[in-house]
Structure 1
C-alpha cells in the first residue's frame, strides 16, 4: 500500500529533524543512515525515497541545522535590527555554550564543514555572511572588517570554550572574548 504525499513529507521532516540534531551534537560523520532511519521508525530501504544519497541527506540536515540556528538567533534578537551588545552577551553565554544540539550550528559544525564538499561549505558560508551582515549593521555599517572580526571572534571563542575541559577556564574564554568584543563598540 502506498503512502500519501503528506505521509512522505512528514517522514522526511522526521528524518531531517533527527539528522540535524545529530550532526549538531556529533558532527557530520556521526550520521548512520541505518540508525537514523530506525530512529525515525522507517526502513533503511525507504531512505532513497527521500534522499538521493547520504551526501544529499547531510547537506539538507546541515541546512536545517543552520536554519534552526538562525531562527534561534532571530528569536533572541529579533528579525530586524540587532543590538550588538545583546548579541555578544547572548552568543558568548554559558547557556549558549552548553546548548550543543540547539546552539549555533556554525560553531558546532565549522570544523566538519571545512573538510566537507563545496555544497556544504557554500551553505554554511551563506549563513556566516548573513551573520556578518547583521553584526555589521548593528555596529553602524561603517567598517565591515569589524563585523568580520566580531563574528569570527564569537564563533571561535564559543568553539574554544566548548573544547576546554576545565569549566572555569571555559567560562574565562567566554568572558575575555565578551569583554574585548564589547570594547569594539565603546571605541566608536
Structure 2
C-alpha cells in the first residue's frame, strides 16, 4: 500500500511537471489532457485519479510553472551592482531562454493568458512571481528605495524584450532586441553605480 501511494504521488508530480511545461508552451487553452496523458504513457481515464477536472489541472499547472525557479537570480547576483545586473540579464535575455518557452519564465509565457482570466487562482501565482522578480531585480541594482523604479522598469523591459524576440525568432531582429535590451539595462546599472561613487566622493570631500 505504501508503495502504491508513493507511485501515485510520483505519477501525480510527473503529470503536473509535464502540464507546467505544456501550459507555458501552448497556454491554458492549448493544454490537451489526452496528449498530456499520452506523453506521460498513461491512459486518459487515469487523469481523474489525480485531478478532478481540467480546470483543476490548469490551476495547479500555472502555480507549478510560476513556482519553478530557473536560477536567474542566484545568490551570486544578490551582491548588487552592474556585474550582478549583467549576469541576470545575460541569462534571462539569452537565445537559449528565448527558444525554450516550455522551461522558461512563466510570466513571459502566461501573462497574456492569465490577464484575460478573472480567476485569481490563475493570475495570483503569476503576480506573486512578478513581485518576486521586482524585489530580486532591485537587489541586483543595489537594493535601496532609490533603485526600485529602475528595477521595475528593467524587469518590465526584460519581459517585453524576451516576448518580442520570440515574435521575431528566426530573424536578425530577434537577436538585436535581446542585445539592445541587455546593453541598455546594464548601462542603467553602471550609471547608477557611477552616480553613487560620485556622491560618496563628494560626501568624503565635504568632511
TM-score (norm: length of structure 2): 0.81
Moved more, 119-128 or 85-94: 85-94
In structure 2, the residue matched to 1:104 is 105
| 1:136, distance to aligned residue in structure 2 (A) | 0.7
In structure 1, the residue matched to 2:122 is 120
| 1:179, distance to aligned residue in structure 2 (A) | 1.7
In structure 2, the residue matched to 1:36 is 36
**Contact 2:108 2:163 (C-alpha < 8 Å) held by counterparts:** yes
Matches within 5 A, 1:80-99: 81=78, 83-99=84-100
TM-score (norm: length of structure 1): 0.88
Matches within 5 A, 1:63-82: 63-68=63-68, 70-74=69-73, 77-78=74-75, 81=78
Provide the alpha-carbon RMSD of the alignment.
2.2
Q: Which consecutive residues of structure 1, in runs of 5 or more, have no partner in the other structure?
A: none
| 1:156, distance to aligned residue in structure 2 (A) | 0.7
In structure 2, the residue matched to 1:142 is 145
**Contact 2:77 2:140 (C-alpha < 8 Å) held by counterparts:** no
**Contact 2:14 2:40 (C-alpha < 8 Å) held by counterparts:** yes
**Contact 2:72 2:91 (C-alpha < 8 Å) held by counterparts:** no
Q: Give CA deviations for 1:15-65 in whole Å, capped at 9, x if unaligned.
A: 112111111211121111222223223232332221122121112111222
- Measured at CA, do residues 145 and 40 of structure 1 come closer, stay the same or move farther in structure 2, by a change above 3 Å? same
| 1:78, distance to aligned residue in structure 2 (A) | 3.3
Q: Which of 148, 151, 157 is matched with 1:153 structurally?
A: 157
Q: Which consecutive residues of structure 2, in runs of 5 or more, have no partner in the other structure?
A: 193-207
Matches within 5 A, 1:152-171: 152-171=156-175
In structure 1, the residue matched to 2:134 is 132
* Paired residues, number: 185
Find the aligned partners of 1:38 and 1:95 in 2 and give their Cα distance. Answer: 27
Counterpart of 1:187 in 2: which secondary structure? helix
- Measured at CA, do residues 35 and 95 of structure 1 come closer, stay the same or move farther in structure 2, by a change above 3 Å? closer
